[in-house]
Structure 1
Amino acid sequence: MLVLVDSSVPEPWRRLPDPTPEATPAPPADLELLERTLRERLPDSIGATDEEVAATGTRLGVTLPDEVKVLYRVTRARWEDWADDYKAAHRVTQAIGCELSSLEYLHSVDGAARHSHWALPETKAVITPPDAAVQGLVGSPRWIVFGGNGGDGLPIDLTPGPRGHVGQLVLVDHEQSIGAELVADSLTDLILGRVRKERRIPRGDRLPVVAGVGNGGVPTVEAAAHPDL
């Protein structure tokens, strides 16, 4: 007999990212160009202090990338700085390419809170192909959401996939329960409009990762047996 423990979630929803000690920032991560571009677009913005940025990293348990430090040094994205001026807030969105959150709202993607009802996740698995730029996860304490597009979260990815870069930007679709989409190789790329167009979501619902035996699926358990299952 199986007993469902209160507040438990399936294993994919508890999966943590694999370490990526060899991953490096993307070559386009140009800090001088990033800061110059932001100051040209947002000449009147009020920036955060180095202490405020460092405190945010401490709260999140991560070292924020230099690009993020540059961004918030130019604008701290607080509503009171815009004096209830929607046009000023819109200019920041246009300058950066997303709706920017202030430092106090930066957070990681909580996998346990992302579509975790058992009816769906019990048939899913998380996978990261060897050529993937983004790890096939539900959530990660090192996906740091700094903005969004009104519904989806836009994190800085600090533990990329085998072909990814530290500090790349990914999109967490609120209608998807697994995975994230690579948006740009760096924050500099996002602000300069060099975004990715391809969309690739890891499939954790088909052979050889997941097998449905009977009812029109694989006829027997023996036929479903595979080292990757």
Structure 2
Amino acid sequence: MDDQQSPSLPIHAFATWESVLRFLRASHRDRLAVPGARVTGFVGRGGWSVPIGHGRDERDAVERVRGALLNDGIEVVSFAVEIEPAGRAVLHILEHGPAVEHSAGPHPGALVLAEGALPAPWHRLPDQAPGAAPAASVDPALLERRLRERLPDAVGATEAEIVSAETRLGMALPDELKVLYRVTRAKWEDWRGDYEAVRRHSEAVRCELFDLESLYVAEAATRECLWQFGARETVDIRPGAVVQGVVGSAGWIVFGDNGGGDRLAVDLTPGPRGHAGQVILLSHEQSVGAALVADSLTDLVLGRPGAESGLGEDQRPPAVAYVNTSGLRNLETAIHSGLEVLSIRSGDGPPFSLASLMGLPRLRTLIACPGTIADPREIAGLTGLEYLELGAQDWRVLLDAKAVPRGLSAAFIKVDDDEDPLPVVDLANELLTLWDRPAIIRTVVSGDLGPAA
């Protein structure tokens, strides 16, 4: 582990943490009385998890640490602290750095072993739809007439503003979208701070409409997802699909929000049974795919919902398999040439041999709970893996045997929430070193809290 003993930033000063440490001692007196026991947590700009009370004094103590983060330009730190009964405290501050994704706890998130690497679904482009036709409901004249009836005082965009947006996006806007913006440019200054006018506008256009400067193309890179979750995803494009189940598309033009954080887009790369220009919804709770909202912008504004997807039953074996569940009790029932993601969960049976996985052409993600693999060294033969998630002991076996697959793009060390993070960080740094990636830095800060009251 890369240790720093000399504090050089406010976040590394004992005084910055002193109040938090006093609250931790008061809250975990019995635990800290055990020699070598530590209390852990994390503090970040966007939130914190420190196991103390939530009163005003406790919040102020944590805010002092968060203020130091802001001052030092650091996004988040995790920590582990030992406090002796006499009051001496040893605080380990962990800065994960650019090669480690944040997790909702004190342990490292996924280790990004190749700079800028993204899970395979983020590289999957949509199939082209050159023959896709607009829906029969497309009616720009009706759309404009209805919008002007609802928004008689709206300020429309100029042709120059529309052309500017097209130039920025690198593509022409569909006719219906141009009609929409010719009626209303949806700029905040046009409403002069009148929230009731904003509400009426959203009701008229059936969404919270973005202005032209905020339009964007929902390509895959715009849908961020941690490796720990993105590596489990797959792309699904079925012959009967209305919307292609990809992460993003150069043909998805996002123009608004449904008021709940979900994006609305015009879809110019529909599925085999979809329509060019249909309106789709990109859920903020999902990273892959989209749902049909309306067959056209005309339908959206007129309140006519889209047709059913017509996917039909998928006869293909699933690309994601969970072994040790009620449905799958052995590897053999999960194996087929299209398998991409395999998760082996804890169960009552003996650990599995991985010999039957060798040679699977599309297997890219392996997730194995601790104790589920008979011989972790077999993983070395799975040369197509891009993501591997194992318990600390299995990673130790791979490292000692020099059997870590070097084709990995990301890795994750699976641990229990209450596990000491310091040995996990040591293990993570060994993996990062193999790929010459920035290590997790531990700064050790010590001080005396004095006798407890």
**TM-score under structure 2 normalisation?**
0.46
CA deviations over 1:122-153 (Å, ceiling 9, x no partner) = 22210111111100011122211100122110
The 3-state SS of whatever aligns with 1:5 is: coil
- Structure 1 position 35, deviation (Å): 0.6
After superposition, the C-alpha distances for 1:153-204 in whole angstroms (9 at most, x for unaligned) are 00111110001111100000001121100000000000000023868999xx
Q: 1:139 to 1:200 in 2, by over 3 A?
A: farther
1:173 aligns with 2:261: no
Number of the residue aligned with 2:356: none
Residue 227 of structure 1, CA deviation = 5.2
Three-state SS of the structure 2 residue aligned to 1:120 is: helix
Q: 1:182-201 counterparts in 2 under 5 A? A: 182-196=292-306
Residue of structure 1 equivalent to 2:125: 16
CA contact (8 A) 2:238 2:311 kept: no
Residue in structure 2 matched with residue 219 of structure 1 by the alignment:
330
Indicate the structure with greater strand content: 2
Q: Is the 8 A contact 1:114 1:138 kept in 2?
A: yes
- Distance in 1 between the 2:134 and 2:290 partners? 18
**1: CA distance, partners of 2:273 / 2:309:** 15
Task: State the distance in 2 between where 1:77 and 1:136 align.
Answer: 30
Give distance in 2, aligned partners of 1:117 and 1:200.
Answer: 31
Q: Name which of 132, 137, 150 aligns with 2:246.
A: 137
Deviation at 1:33, TM superposition (A): 0.5
Quickly say closer, same or farther: Cα 1:201–1:101, change in 2 above 3 A: farther
Instruction: Quickly say closer, same or farther: Cα 1:93–1:72, change in 2 above 3 A.
Output: same
The TM-score, its normalising length taken from structure 1, stands at 0.89
Partners of 2:215 and 2:253 within 8 A in 1: yes
SS in 1 for 2:176: helix
1:109 and 2:213 equivalent?
A: no
Mapping of residues 82-101 of structure 1, within 5 Å: 82-101=191-210
Match of 2:144 in 1: 35
2:319 corresponds to 1:209 = yes
Q: Summarize the Cα distance change of 1:179–1:52 in structure 2 as closer, same or farther, 3 Å threshold.
A: same
Q: Determine if contact 1:14/1:112 at 8 Å carries over to the other structure.
A: no
Task: Note the aligned Cα RMSD (angstroms).
Answer: 2.6
Identity percentage over the alignment? 54
**Runs of 5+ unmatched residues, structure 1:** none
AA matched with 1:95:
A
> 1:125 is aligned with what amino acid?
T
Aligned in 2, Cα 1:125/1:201: closer, same or farther, shift over 3 Å? farther
Confirm or deny that 1:81 pairs with 2:178.
no
**Contact 1:109/1:140, CA 8 A, preserved across alignment:** yes
- Change beyond 3 A, Cα 1:227–1:120: closer
**2:318·2:339 contact (CA, 8 Å) conserved in 1?**
yes
Per-residue CA deviation, residues 29-70 of structure 1 (Å, 9 max, x unaligned), is: 001101111111111111001121122122112211000000
1:53 to 147, 152, 162: 162
Pick closer, same or farther for the CA change 1:138–1:104 going to 2, 3 Å: same
Q: Aligned letter for 1:167?
A: G
Residue identity matched to 2:120: E
* Per-residue deviation, residues 78-122 of structure 1 (Å, max 9, x unmatched): 011111111111111011100011000001224234242111122
Please say which structure displays the higher CA radius of gyration. Answer: 2
Structure 2 distance, partners of 1:75, 1:192, is 16
Structure 2 residue 134 is matched with structure 1 residue 25: yes
Deviation at 1:210, TM superposition (A): 2.3
List runs of 5+ in structure 2 lacking aligned partners: 1-111, 341-453
